[in-house]
Amino acid sequence: MSAEGIWKNEYGSIMMLSGKGHVLSGIYQSSTSMVGTYEVRGVRVGRRATESYGQPLALAISWHSMDDANANPSWHWCSGLSGQLSVRDGVEVLVLSHSLVAPNRFPGLVEDGTYIDRMTYRRLGGAERIPLPVRVAGAPDNPLAGVWEAPDGTSLALEVGASLDNRLGYVSGTLHAASELEVSGFTDLHAVGNGLSRQAVTLTAVATSERRAISLSGTLDLEKGTLALLDLSSEPTPPHQHFGQTRISSSVYRRRLAS
Protein backbone atom coordinates (compact mmCIF):
# COMPACT_ATOMS: atom_id res chain seq x y z
CA MET A 1 0.00 0.00 0.00
CA SER A 2 1.33 3.43 -0.95
CA ALA A 3 0.81 7.02 0.23
CA GLU A 4 0.23 8.24 -3.33
CA GLY A 5 -3.37 9.18 -3.96
CA ILE A 6 -6.25 11.29 -2.68
CA TRP A 7 -7.02 11.33 1.06
CA LYS A 8 -9.79 12.83 3.18
CA ASN A 9 -9.69 13.47 6.94
CA GLU A 10 -12.40 13.77 9.59
CA TYR A 11 -12.66 17.54 9.00
CA GLY A 12 -13.47 16.98 5.34
CA SER A 13 -10.13 18.34 4.09
CA ILE A 14 -8.62 16.75 0.98
CA MET A 15 -4.93 15.93 0.49
CA MET A 16 -3.49 14.75 -2.83
CA LEU A 17 -0.03 13.17 -2.75
CA SER A 18 2.40 11.95 -5.38
CA GLY A 19 5.78 10.37 -4.72
CA LYS A 20 9.16 9.58 -6.18
CA GLY A 21 11.47 7.44 -4.07
CA HIS A 22 11.26 8.64 -0.48
CA VAL A 23 10.06 12.13 -1.47
CA LEU A 24 6.37 13.12 -1.34
CA SER A 25 4.72 16.23 -2.76
CA GLY A 26 1.19 17.40 -3.26
CA ILE A 27 -1.57 19.84 -2.49
CA TYR A 28 -4.02 20.28 0.37
CA GLN A 29 -7.53 21.67 0.15
CA SER A 30 -8.76 22.64 3.60
CA SER A 31 -12.36 22.73 4.77
CA THR A 32 -11.58 24.67 7.96
CA SER A 33 -10.76 28.38 8.32
CA MET A 34 -7.82 27.99 5.91
CA VAL A 35 -9.95 27.98 2.76
CA GLY A 36 -7.76 27.66 -0.32
CA THR A 37 -5.18 25.38 -1.91
CA TYR A 38 -1.86 24.75 -0.16
CA GLU A 39 1.38 23.00 -1.02
CA VAL A 40 2.58 19.86 0.77
CA ARG A 41 6.12 18.47 0.89
CA GLY A 42 7.18 15.35 2.73
CA VAL A 43 9.08 12.10 3.06
CA ARG A 44 8.42 8.42 3.65
CA VAL A 45 10.74 5.65 4.75
CA GLY A 46 10.92 1.87 4.56
CA ARG A 47 8.73 -0.63 2.81
CA ARG A 48 5.15 -0.12 1.76
CA ALA A 49 2.51 -0.60 4.42
CA THR A 50 1.19 -4.12 4.97
CA GLU A 51 -1.22 -5.79 7.39
CA SER A 52 1.81 -6.44 9.65
CA TYR A 53 3.61 -3.07 9.72
CA GLY A 54 2.92 0.49 8.69
CA GLN A 55 5.08 2.87 6.65
CA PRO A 56 6.23 6.07 8.43
CA LEU A 57 5.93 9.44 6.75
CA ALA A 58 6.26 13.12 7.63
CA LEU A 59 4.67 16.10 5.91
CA ALA A 60 5.13 19.88 5.87
CA ILE A 61 2.36 22.30 4.85
CA SER A 62 2.54 26.04 4.21
CA TRP A 63 -0.77 27.76 4.95
CA HIS A 64 -0.06 30.61 2.52
CA SER A 65 -2.52 29.84 -0.26
CA MET A 66 -1.20 28.94 -3.71
CA ASP A 67 -4.32 30.32 -5.39
CA ASP A 68 -6.24 33.60 -5.28
CA ALA A 69 -8.07 32.96 -2.01
CA ASN A 70 -8.61 35.97 0.23
CA ALA A 71 -5.69 36.65 2.57
CA ASN A 72 -6.18 36.05 6.29
CA PRO A 73 -3.93 35.72 9.38
CA SER A 74 -3.37 31.98 8.77
CA TRP A 75 -1.24 32.77 5.72
CA HIS A 76 1.65 33.15 8.17
CA TRP A 77 1.11 29.66 9.61
CA CYS A 78 2.52 26.25 8.82
CA SER A 79 2.02 22.65 9.90
CA GLY A 80 4.23 19.66 10.60
CA LEU A 81 2.74 16.16 10.53
CA SER A 82 4.23 12.76 11.27
CA GLY A 83 2.79 9.27 11.55
CA GLN A 84 2.30 6.22 9.40
CA LEU A 85 0.20 4.60 6.74
CA SER A 86 -1.33 1.38 8.10
CA VAL A 87 -3.56 -1.36 6.73
CA ARG A 88 -6.34 -2.32 9.13
CA ASP A 89 -8.70 -5.11 8.12
CA GLY A 90 -7.73 -4.50 4.51
CA VAL A 91 -8.41 -0.75 4.69
CA GLU A 92 -5.67 1.88 4.32
CA VAL A 93 -5.57 4.42 7.15
CA LEU A 94 -3.19 7.38 7.40
CA VAL A 95 -2.87 8.51 11.04
CA LEU A 96 -0.76 11.63 11.61
CA SER A 97 0.16 13.66 14.67
CA HIS A 98 -0.27 17.31 13.71
CA SER A 99 1.56 20.39 14.97
CA LEU A 100 -0.13 23.60 13.79
CA VAL A 101 2.26 26.54 14.19
CA ALA A 102 0.44 29.87 14.55
CA PRO A 103 2.93 32.68 15.32
CA ASN A 104 0.13 35.26 15.18
CA ARG A 105 -3.45 35.22 16.45
CA PHE A 106 -6.49 34.76 14.26
CA PRO A 107 -9.27 36.80 15.92
CA GLY A 108 -12.31 34.66 16.60
CA LEU A 109 -10.40 31.44 15.93
CA VAL A 110 -7.18 30.92 17.94
CA GLU A 111 -4.53 32.82 19.86
CA ASP A 112 -0.90 32.57 18.76
CA GLY A 113 0.82 29.33 19.74
CA THR A 114 1.37 25.73 18.67
CA TYR A 115 -1.66 23.44 18.54
CA ILE A 116 -1.49 19.63 18.64
CA ASP A 117 -4.02 17.34 17.00
CA ARG A 118 -4.24 13.84 15.57
CA MET A 119 -5.73 13.42 12.12
CA THR A 120 -7.00 10.29 10.40
CA TYR A 121 -7.12 10.16 6.60
CA ARG A 122 -8.87 7.58 4.45
CA ARG A 123 -8.28 7.01 0.76
CA LEU A 124 -10.68 8.49 -1.78
CA GLY A 125 -8.82 7.61 -4.96
CA GLY A 126 -5.58 6.79 -6.69
CA ALA A 127 -2.60 8.93 -7.59
CA GLU A 128 -2.87 11.88 -9.97
CA ARG A 129 -0.35 14.21 -11.56
CA ILE A 130 -0.16 17.28 -9.32
CA PRO A 131 0.99 20.64 -10.79
CA LEU A 132 3.17 22.59 -8.37
CA PRO A 133 4.53 26.16 -8.58
CA VAL A 134 7.82 26.96 -10.28
CA ARG A 135 10.62 27.79 -7.85
CA VAL A 136 13.35 30.39 -8.12
CA ALA A 137 16.90 30.29 -6.85
CA GLY A 138 16.79 31.84 -3.43
CA ALA A 139 16.03 34.40 -0.77
CA PRO A 140 19.43 34.54 0.96
CA ASP A 141 18.54 37.56 3.09
CA ASN A 142 15.77 35.68 4.89
CA PRO A 143 16.58 35.56 8.63
CA LEU A 144 16.17 31.77 8.70
CA ALA A 145 19.08 31.21 6.30
CA GLY A 146 22.29 30.14 8.02
CA VAL A 147 23.62 27.59 10.49
CA TRP A 148 21.80 26.90 13.76
CA GLU A 149 23.06 24.93 16.77
CA ALA A 150 21.25 23.24 19.67
CA PRO A 151 22.82 22.68 23.13
CA ASP A 152 23.25 18.93 22.45
CA GLY A 153 25.46 19.62 19.41
CA THR A 154 22.77 19.06 16.79
CA SER A 155 22.93 21.63 14.00
CA LEU A 156 20.85 22.77 11.05
CA ALA A 157 22.32 24.39 7.93
CA LEU A 158 19.43 26.05 6.08
CA GLU A 159 18.87 27.85 2.79
CA VAL A 160 15.68 29.71 1.84
CA GLY A 161 14.14 30.08 -1.61
CA ALA A 162 10.86 31.41 -2.97
CA SER A 163 8.15 30.58 -5.47
CA LEU A 164 8.10 32.62 -8.66
CA ASP A 165 5.25 34.78 -7.35
CA ASN A 166 7.00 35.18 -3.96
CA ARG A 167 4.08 33.62 -2.10
CA LEU A 168 5.79 30.55 -0.67
CA GLY A 169 9.11 30.24 1.11
CA TYR A 170 10.98 26.98 0.52
CA VAL A 171 13.62 25.67 2.91
CA SER A 172 16.35 23.15 2.14
CA GLY A 173 19.45 22.09 4.01
CA THR A 174 21.04 19.56 6.30
CA LEU A 175 20.41 18.30 9.82
CA HIS A 176 23.62 17.21 11.55
CA ALA A 177 22.94 14.89 14.50
CA ALA A 178 24.04 11.26 14.94
CA SER A 179 24.10 11.24 11.14
CA GLU A 180 23.67 13.80 8.37
CA LEU A 181 20.10 14.11 7.09
CA GLU A 182 18.66 16.18 4.25
CA VAL A 183 15.82 18.51 5.29
CA SER A 184 13.25 20.40 3.25
CA GLY A 185 10.06 22.31 3.94
CA PHE A 186 8.56 25.79 4.17
CA THR A 187 8.88 29.09 5.97
CA ASP A 188 6.89 32.33 5.97
CA LEU A 189 8.48 34.91 3.65
CA HIS A 190 6.27 37.73 4.92
CA ALA A 191 6.69 37.67 8.71
CA VAL A 192 9.15 40.58 8.84
CA GLY A 193 7.25 42.72 6.33
CA ASN A 194 4.02 42.30 8.29
CA GLY A 195 5.56 43.15 11.65
CA LEU A 196 5.42 39.67 13.22
CA SER A 197 7.86 38.85 16.01
CA ARG A 198 8.06 35.18 15.02
CA GLN A 199 8.42 33.38 11.70
CA ALA A 200 6.84 29.96 11.12
CA VAL A 201 9.03 27.05 9.95
CA THR A 202 8.23 23.44 9.04
CA LEU A 203 10.75 20.83 7.86
CA THR A 204 10.86 17.10 7.13
CA ALA A 205 13.71 14.61 7.12
CA VAL A 206 14.14 10.86 6.76
CA ALA A 207 16.55 8.69 8.79
CA THR A 208 16.71 5.66 6.51
CA SER A 209 18.86 3.40 8.71
CA GLU A 210 16.55 3.98 11.68
CA ARG A 211 13.35 3.82 9.59
CA ARG A 212 12.25 7.18 11.01
CA ALA A 213 10.25 9.93 9.31
CA ILE A 214 10.86 13.26 11.05
CA SER A 215 8.82 16.45 11.23
CA LEU A 216 10.43 19.60 12.67
CA SER A 217 8.09 22.57 13.12
CA GLY A 218 8.15 25.76 15.13
CA THR A 219 9.14 29.41 15.00
CA LEU A 220 12.14 31.65 14.56
CA ASP A 221 12.00 34.39 17.20
CA LEU A 222 13.03 37.42 15.19
CA GLU A 223 13.86 39.48 18.28
CA LYS A 224 15.77 36.88 20.32
CA GLY A 225 17.37 35.10 17.38
CA THR A 226 16.32 31.64 18.56
CA LEU A 227 14.80 28.81 16.53
CA ALA A 228 12.43 26.62 18.59
CA LEU A 229 11.42 23.36 16.90
CA LEU A 230 9.11 20.51 17.88
CA ASP A 231 10.34 17.09 16.69
CA LEU A 232 7.73 14.46 15.76
CA SER A 233 9.58 11.24 14.82
CA SER A 234 7.66 8.22 13.56
CA GLU A 235 8.70 4.58 13.22
CA PRO A 236 6.81 1.58 11.78
CA THR A 237 4.56 -0.33 14.17
CA PRO A 238 1.91 -3.04 13.80
CA PRO A 239 -1.55 -1.51 13.30
CA HIS A 240 -2.70 -2.48 16.81
CA GLN A 241 0.31 -0.67 18.32
CA HIS A 242 -0.03 2.64 16.47
CA PHE A 243 -0.14 4.45 19.83
CA GLY A 244 3.65 4.03 19.85
CA GLN A 245 4.29 5.23 16.30
CA THR A 246 5.34 8.83 17.03
CA ARG A 247 7.69 10.28 19.65
CA ILE A 248 7.88 13.95 20.54
CA SER A 249 10.81 16.11 21.65
CA SER A 250 11.90 19.73 21.27
CA SER A 251 15.05 21.78 20.81
CA VAL A 252 16.01 25.45 20.79
CA TYR A 253 18.69 26.43 18.27
CA ARG A 254 20.85 29.53 18.16
CA ARG A 255 22.64 30.94 15.15
CA ARG A 256 26.26 29.88 14.83
CA LEU A 257 28.48 32.92 15.09
CA ALA A 258 31.04 33.50 12.37
CA SER A 259 34.53 32.50 13.48
**Confidence label for 68 from pLDDT (cuts 50, 70 and 90):** confident
**What pLDDT digit, counting tens, does each position of 190-241 carry?**
999 999 999 999 999 999 888 999 999 999 999 999 999 999 999 999 888 8
∠ CA(236), CA(43), CA(211), 5° rounding? 30
Residue 103 reports pLDDT greater than 90: yes
* Ordered domains of the chain (ranges, CATH): 5-255 (2.40.128.30)
Q: What stretches of the chain adopt beta strand conformation (E)?
A: 5-9, 14-20, 23-29, 37-44, 55-62, 78-88, 91-102, 113-125, 146-149, 155-162, 169-176, 180-187, 198-207, 212-221, 226-234, 246-255
Average pLDDT over all residues of the chain: 91
- For range 112-140, the mean pLDDT: 79
Specify the pLDDT at position 223.
Answer: 96
**What pLDDT digit, counting tens, does each position of 70-100 carry?**
889 999 999 999 999 999 888 899 999 999 9
Give the pairing type, strands 78-88 and 91-102: antiparallel
With 0.75 as the threshold, say if the pTM is over it.
Answer: yes
Evaluate whether 64 touches 213 at the Cβ level (below 8 Å). Answer: no
Residue 173 reports pLDDT greater than 90: yes
- For range 127-142, the mean pLDDT: 68
Residue 101 reports pLDDT greater than 90: yes
**Confidence label for 242 from pLDDT (cuts 50, 70 and 90):** confident
**Confidence label for 46 from pLDDT (cuts 50, 70 and 90):** confident
Specify the pLDDT at position 258.
Answer: 65
Specify the pLDDT at position 65.
Answer: 92
Specify the pLDDT at position 33.
Answer: 60
**Confidence label for 137 from pLDDT (cuts 50, 70 and 90):** low
Residue 18 reports pLDDT greater than 60: yes
